[in-house]
């Protein structure tokens, strides 16, 4: 997997949001021999050595590998998210104002507003159409530099370098044209027609702006990767490939990606839904094992980005738990995270077995700390869990930054995790390779 970073750059450039991400993951899984399942059908004929995946609402996905029936069997689970901070297109979005055609938007997640200015943007997401009396879902990506959010020149905004407050409804509306007779629906129709989709009418859509900047390696020795949506695609892709490329006869290996992490996960496809427990229940039934003992022999690794020490603001880090780019996987410690002494110890052992460096992260005690899908999942699946991630700068910017060596560390560590079976006996945990 020495070409992992090339795969990452390619994946990011063709993955503008969660809907496209789930679709792209499906293609990768199918190419690697996985079979798609559907929640509306029963799963009665799963094979012992079968490889499967299921998606929910076009934007979240769980893939799994069946295991030999074993009383000690548990679930080895990695959990990531596939959405990123952006701007969602409102209904009836066209605004004709002073010779400009603008689109009406609302914020999705906590983005750095100024980082979206003066960049080529486009639209992607999901469109619902009616075709011969049937409602269908189509994933769409307008592969064109379609619009831009222009900044105000310093000559008319003299305080821009001292005050940079940007109002979503006033300052962040993208301009798309100087024409007054265009409709967004016409652009969507054209995009669907070009891909051979048939329909009678467009009913509605879930569309989002995305940054068209290309992913790239930068630095004197290409030490860094700069790209949009590294949170959380930089963790997702190593997790996905480690899952695909490993085998464990004694545990059920599972890969999960959830939508809507950036907005609280309160959707039927989010981490704060029954998607994971529903899937685990079905796997246990098909494998004829008891669900609760299996859950208690399980580990969840929640992989999301972690804050690296900033070169121009080092005082914003904890005194004794600083995190650096290209220095290894970050194990995240805070009351908002699921990591505890046991799960931290187990994962550090995994890293040591894989010869992968790791770092401990804790935020300053006088600063707020974010949360991840690890803790949110616990509301529905109470299982030993920890939070890890790749160290990152410029989190939630239109372009983010990671170290080019850390992606391979993540791949190697999660590969080791997927090849390990955790056997719990009272107050002890045994490791089986």
The 216-218 sheet, strands edge to edge:
216-218, 224-227, 400-403, 391-393, 306-307
- Cβ(79)–Cβ(272) below 8 Å: no
> Residues in the chain with pLDDT < 70?
1-2, 69-72
- What is the H or E stretch that residue 28 is in? helix 18-31
Contacts 24+ apart (CB under 8 A), 360-363: 360/321, 360/330, 360/331, 360/333, 361/306, 361/307, 361/318, 361/321, 361/323, 361/330, 361/331, 361/332, 361/333, 362/318, 362/321, 362/332, 362/333, 362/334, 363/307, 363/318, 363/334
- What pLDDT does residue 69 have? 66
- What pLDDT does residue 335 have? 85
Q: How many other C-beta atoms are found inside a 10 Å radius of the C-beta of residue 195?
A: 10
- Cβ(397)–Cβ(368) below 8 Å: no
- Cβ(59)–Cβ(261) below 8 Å: no
- Cβ(380)–Cβ(273) below 8 Å: yes
Q: For residue range 11-41, list pLDDT tens digits in order.
A: 999 999 999 999 999 999 999 999 999 999 9
Those residues with Cβ within 8 angstroms of residue 33's Cβ, 6 or more apart along the chain or in another chain:
51
- What pLDDT does residue 72 have? 63
Q: For residue range 63-81, list pLDDT tens digits in order.
A: 999 987 665 679 999 999 9
In order of their start, the domains of the chain are 4-84+228-432 (3.40.630.10), 86-211 (2.30.250.10)
SS3 content of the chain, % helix, strand, coil (to 5): 25, 30, 45
């Amino acid at each position: 997997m020495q070409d992992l970073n090339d795969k990452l750059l390619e994946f990011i450039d063709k993955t503008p949001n969660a809907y496209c991400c789930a679709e792209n993951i499906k293609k990768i899984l199918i190419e690697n021999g996985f079979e798609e399942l559907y929640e509306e059908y029963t799963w009665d004929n799963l094979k012992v050595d079968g490889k499967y995946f299921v998606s929910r609402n076009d934007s979240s996905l769980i893939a799994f590998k069946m295991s030999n029936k074993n009383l000690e069997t548990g679930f080895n689970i990695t959990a990531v998210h596939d959405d990123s901070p952006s701007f969602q297109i409102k209904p009836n979005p066209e605004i004709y104002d002073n010779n400009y055609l603008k689109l009406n938007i609302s914020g999705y997640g906590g983005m750095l507003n100024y980082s979206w200015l003066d960049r080529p943007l486009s639209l992607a997401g999901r469109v619902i159409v009616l075709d011969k009396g049937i409602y269908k879902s189509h994933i769409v990506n307008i592969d064109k530099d379609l619009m831009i959010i222009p900044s105000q020149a310093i000559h008319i905004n003299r305080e821009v370098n001292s005050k940079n407050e940007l109002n979503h409804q006033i300052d962040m509306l993208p301009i798309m044209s100087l024409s007054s007779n265009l409709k967004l629906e016409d652009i969507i129709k054209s995009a669907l027609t070009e891909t051979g989709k048939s329909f009678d009418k467009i009913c509605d859509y879930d569309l989002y702006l995305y940054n068209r900047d290309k992913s790239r390696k930068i630095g004197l020795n290409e030490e860094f990767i700069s790209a949009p949506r590294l949170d959380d695609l930089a963790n997702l892709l190593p997790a996905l490939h480690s899952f695909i490329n490993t085998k464990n006869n004694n545990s059920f290996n599972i890969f999960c990606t959830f939508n809507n992490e950036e907005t609280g996960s309160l959707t039927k496809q989010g981490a704060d839904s029954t998607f994971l427990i529903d899937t685990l229940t079905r796997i246990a039934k098909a494998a004829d094992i008891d669900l609760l003992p299996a859950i208690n022999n399980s580990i969840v690794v929640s992989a999301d980005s972690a804050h690296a020490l900033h070169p121009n603001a080092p005082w914003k880090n904890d005194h004794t738990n600083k995190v650096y780019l290209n220095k290894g996987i970050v194990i995240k410690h805070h009351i908002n995270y699921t990591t505890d002494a046991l799960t931290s110890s187990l994962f550090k052992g995994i890293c040591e077995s894989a010869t992968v460096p790791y770092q401990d992260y804790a935020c300053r005690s006088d600063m707020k700390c974010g949360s991840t899908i690890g803790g949110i999942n616990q509301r529905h699946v109470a299982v030993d869990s920890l939070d890890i991630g790749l160290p990152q700068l410029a989190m939630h910017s239109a372009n983010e930054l990671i170290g080019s060596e850390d992606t391979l560390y993540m791949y190697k560590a999660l590969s080791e995790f997927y090849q390990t079976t955790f056997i719990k006996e009272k107050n002890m945990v045994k490791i089986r390779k």
